[in-house]
């Protein structure tokens, strides 16, 4: 599956027309009918409910697929990572980790996770994991090839 893009709008309206639709006011200055093509005055795209539902479903599906590691967030977000299974040893090919940018202790940015058990699905668990990493109790690896966002835990409201 390729990158999901927005569908083609069915038309465009002016900001004033959007105001009239959104607020129910009939006196929005410059309100005009729907335009077929984007123009200098009509810049707000219109989509059908079916288009938006299909787009949302495609985005959810895309989020559940492994993505190339080059597209992974490197902003402190915890993610699921994949690397090729080891032929020697018992390291798991799938890890939940966070990217740490270069620091005085680490010359290159690297994916890190604590040596102790941790809960990556709660804020408290992630903070404790970061504390372990800060204290030097961590594993690191830069051989990951793919990533995906963490799923919501069953108790997390959607």
pLDDT recorded at residue 21? 66
Based on the structure, what is the number of domains in the chain? 2
Euclidean distance between CA atoms 30 and 50, whole angstroms: 29
> 142 and 94, same structural domain?
yes
What is the distance, to the nearest Å, from the Cα of residue 25 to the centroid of all Cα atoms in its chain?
A: 36
> 43 and 20, same structural domain?
yes
> 36 and 89, same structural domain?
no
pLDDT recorded at residue 128? 93
In a domain, 115, yes or no: yes
> 97 and 50, same structural domain?
no
pLDDT recorded at residue 114? 93
pTM strictly above 0.75 = no
pLDDT recorded at residue 47? 84
> 128 and 84, same structural domain?
yes
**Run means of pLDDT, 10 residues per run, the chain, 158 residues:** 76 69 63 63 79 86 86 92 80 90 68 91 91 90 92 69
> 123 and 98, same structural domain?
yes
> 96 and 45, same structural domain?
no
Residue ending a domain, among 22, 37, 63, is: 63
Q: What is the residue range of 54's domain?
A: 11-63
Euclidean distance between CA atoms 128 and 9, whole angstroms: 46
> 76 and 19, same structural domain?
no
Q: How many CA atoms lie within 13 A of 46 on its CB side?
A: 17
Pairing of strands 11-14, 78-82: unpaired
pLDDT recorded at residue 99? 92
pLDDT recorded at residue 28? 60
Q: Exposed (0-12), middle (13-18) or buried (19+): which is 84, by Cβ within 10 Å?
A: exposed
């Amino acid at each position: 599956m390729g990158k999901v893009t927005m569908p083609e709008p069915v038309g465009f309206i002016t900001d004033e027309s959007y105001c009239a639709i959104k607020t129910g006011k009939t006196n929005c200055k410059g309100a005009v009918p729907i335009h077929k093509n984007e123009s200098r005055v009509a810049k707000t795209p219109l989509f059908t409910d079916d288009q938006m539902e299909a787009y949302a479903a495609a985005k959810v599906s895309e989020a559940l697929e492994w993505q190339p590691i080059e597209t992974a967030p490197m902003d402190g977000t915890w993610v699921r990572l994949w690397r090729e299974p080891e032929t020697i040893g018992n390291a798991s090919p799938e890890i939940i980790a966070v990217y740490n940018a270069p620091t005085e202790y680490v010359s290159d940015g690297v994916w890190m996770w604590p040596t102790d058990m941790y809960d990556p699905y709660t804020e408290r668990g992630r903070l404790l994991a970061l504390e372990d990493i800060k204290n030097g109790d961590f594993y690191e690896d830069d051989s990951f090839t793919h990533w995906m966002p963490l799923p919501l835990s069953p108790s997390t409201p959607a």
